[in-house]
Amino acid sequence: MTDIAPPRFELARFERLSASSFLGYALGLVIIFWCLAGAGFSLEKVASAPPRFADFAARAFPPNLDPQVLSRLGWKMVETLQIAVAGAVIGVILSVPVALLAAKGLIAGPWVNQIVRTALSFIRAVPDIAWALVFVVAVGLGPFAGMLAIVIDTIGFCGRFFADDMEATDKGPAESLTATGARKLDVVACATIPGSLPAFISTSLFALEKAVRSSTILGLVGAGGIGIELKVGFDLFDYPTAMTVIMMIAVVVIGIEQLSGWARTKIIGEQR
Amino acid sequence: MSARCTPTQASLSSIVSSVTDLLLESQTASAVPSEQTGATFAPVSPVDIEARALAKRFGETQIFSDVSFRLARGEAVALVGANGTGKSTLLRCLMGLIPTSAGSVHLLGQQPNEATGGELRKIRAQVGLVSQKHNLVPRLSVLSNVVHGLLGQHPGLRHWSHSLAPQSSRDAAMQALERVGLAGFASRRADRLSGGQSQRVAIARAIVGGPKVLFADEPCASLDPSAGEDVMELFFRLVRDEDVTVVFTSHNIEHALKYGDRVLGLAQGRIQLDATAASLSSADLRGLYD
């Protein structure tokens, strides 16, 4: 190896912090500790949790595999999926016109864009379980309230992302159609939406996964689905049945994620 | 003309005056003053496109200014110039796709910048555009993409897809595809075509409505030389018979001279060259790129 002459200039390995940077890092640390204190963080509780968890696991295992219980839970899970699929499909369909109004430069003016985007932000800011509580009050206990909660939650999610997808899509085809005198609606239908379709499909599949996860807990507030069985299991200290519910939810959610990933690759992966 | 002219630009300037002289000789009694040259001339055919003292600026950046010319029916005009001289911007201004900063455009006897939405669509329904990138909708069939070229004349749901289109529109689209030699590809997805095939479909989409004016923005820039030559040959073979006015931009000097009746050269934000292609040589055009 040849000798390398020392360079005329050398760069320090670590930069010296400026006073403002030091204050910034210090403030960040203070905020983190403040949040941990607010969250009741306790090393003592962390240390005592494993024995308690082991006690729960010992009382929950083996899960309740009684055929009658499995049949009852199975039908509840079917209801859960029905809530999720119906809510997600209606939500995705309604999201398209909402997104058209939210997307800049398509069919609506900037004021309408801003108003619709603010409404979508509000929908997303309210958690799905809160929407379920609202709809339980509005339409009564049961799966319909849960489905409506999923619909509104899906509109908040897909409406925003569909709008972003349409804004980001290649403007070339739209310009070519505009240049030949096509109306805005025709341009959107023939160029913008088909161009955004792969992104729409991907977002819709994520919305379905999200809906399935949400629908499993909506039962906690009486909005249908398997969540009510989980609540009853814990309330009655019937941990084996509660464990069966947890395992069923895990299997179904993982299964839907796998199916969604396969469908995404199959549908979107086909295009070059 | 800029105060600091190079010798080549000076020669271009002399070409502009010689062409103006030629046009003056052929003027008719109903002559109209030209704002750019101050001379009076009138093309024998009706004027399809007229730009008067056109200027365009994006923010603080002046793209071009004082651009004036008139294009007669059936003329093929090559718009040449170095990158960033505003050729594509000028095309978009002529079509009314973007507003001008000053001056006026007359396209087929009407002013796109002054027109209402409905009037503008009526003007554009007589216009076709072929872009550098074919701009087809990738997931749709070739036939649907060509049917979309009729949306200006037949707005609405029935022309959103070839499946919904009336038989007359499907026939027109198939005929356009036959003219570009791709009738056998009608059902194929647009993103399954080669670059040359895609550009031919884009040409079919542009001509399916029988436009009076066609704009082509570097139609073969994304193609290899052989495919580019094929596309240009086809494009001009199709439009020559139909008395269509064509404005195309190109960096290919040979194409500009071979396919243009007239050449407009943009440099330093102005029209520095306006001459018949027959009167120009490649060296004259290279001066625009110095």
Question: Quick one: pLDDT at residue B136?
Answer: 93
Q: What is the pLDDT of residues A31-56, one digit of tens each?
A: 999 999 999 998 888 888 888 889 88
Q: Establish if B231 belongs to a structural domain.
A: yes
User: Does B160 contact A177 at a Cβ distance shorter than 8 Å?
Assistant: no
Residues from chain B that touch A182, judged by Cβ atoms under 8 A, are 121, 148, 151-152, 155
- Tell me the pairing of strands B61-72 and B262-267: unpaired
| pLDDT averaged over 10-residue windows placed end to end, chain B, 290 residues | 41 46 38 38 68 90 90 89 88 89 90 86 90 88 94 91 92 91 91 89 91 88 80 80 86 87 89 87 78
Question: Quick one: pLDDT at residue A20?
Answer: 92
What is d(CA B194, CA A97) in angstroms, rounded to the nearest whole number? 34
User: Does B122 contact A181 at a Cβ distance shorter than 8 Å?
Assistant: yes
Q: Establish if B132 belongs to a structural domain.
A: yes
How does DSSP classify residue B46? Answer: P
Whether chain B has a CB inside 8 Å of the CB on A219: the answer is no
Whether chain A has a CB inside 8 Å of the CB on B211: the answer is yes
Is the CB of residue B231 less than 8 Å from the CB of residue B260? no
Question: Quick one: pLDDT at residue A3?
Answer: 73
Q: Establish if B169 belongs to a structural domain.
A: no
Q: What is the pLDDT of residues A138-191, one digit of tens each?
A: 999 999 999 999 999 999 999 999 999 999 998 999 999 998 889 999 999 999
Question: Quick one: pLDDT at residue B116?
Answer: 86
Is the CB of residue B216 less than 8 Å from the CB of residue B128? no
Whether chain A has a CB inside 8 Å of the CB on B53: the answer is no
Whether chain A has a CB inside 8 Å of the CB on B149: the answer is yes
Question: Quick one: pLDDT at residue A2?
Answer: 62
Say how many CB pairs under 8 Å bridge A and B: 89
Is the CB of residue B124 less than 8 Å from the CB of residue B211? no
- The residue-averaged pLDDT of A51-78 equals 91
pLDDT at A271 over 80: no
Query: How many C-alpha atoms does A2 have within 13 Å on its Cβ side?
Result: 2
CATH of residue B237: 3.40.50.300
Q: Establish if B161 belongs to a structural domain.
A: no
- Between these two residues, A253 and B48, which has the higher pLDDT value? A253
Mention every residue, 6+ apart, whose C-beta is less than 8 A from residue A84: A150, A208, A211, A212, A214, A215
The H-or-E segment that residue B17 falls in is helix B7-25
User: Does B209 contact A180 at a Cβ distance shorter than 8 Å?
Assistant: yes
Calculate what percentage of chain A has a pLDDT beyond 70. 98
User: Does A176 contact B135 at a Cβ distance shorter than 8 Å?
Assistant: yes
Please tell me which of the candidates A189, A271, A272 has its beta carbon nearest to residue B160.
A189
Is the CB of residue A103 less than 8 Å from the CB of residue A184? no
Domain hosting residue B14, numbered range:
7-136+193-289
Q: What is the pLDDT of residues A93-135, one digit of tens each?
A: 999 999 999 999 898 999 999 999 999 999 999 999 999 999 9
- The residue-averaged pLDDT of A219-227 equals 88
CATH class of A67-268: mainly alpha
Whether chain A has a CB inside 8 Å of the CB on B112: the answer is no
Q: Establish if B159 belongs to a structural domain.
A: no
Structure ipTM: 0.77
Number of structural domains (chain B) is: 1
Question: Quick one: pLDDT at residue B171?
Answer: 94
Question: Quick one: pLDDT at residue B45?
Answer: 66
Residues from chain A that touch B151, judged by Cβ atoms under 8 A, are 177, 180-183, 186-187, 190
- Each domain of chain A, given as residue ranges in start order, spans 67-268
- Between these two residues, A9 and B25, which has the higher pLDDT value? A9
Mention every residue, 6+ apart, whose C-beta is less than 8 A from residue A32: none
**Local structure of B115: helix, strand or coil:** coil
User: Does B137 contact A190 at a Cβ distance shorter than 8 Å?
Assistant: yes
Q: Establish if B176 belongs to a structural domain.
A: no
The H-or-E segment that residue B22 falls in is helix B7-25
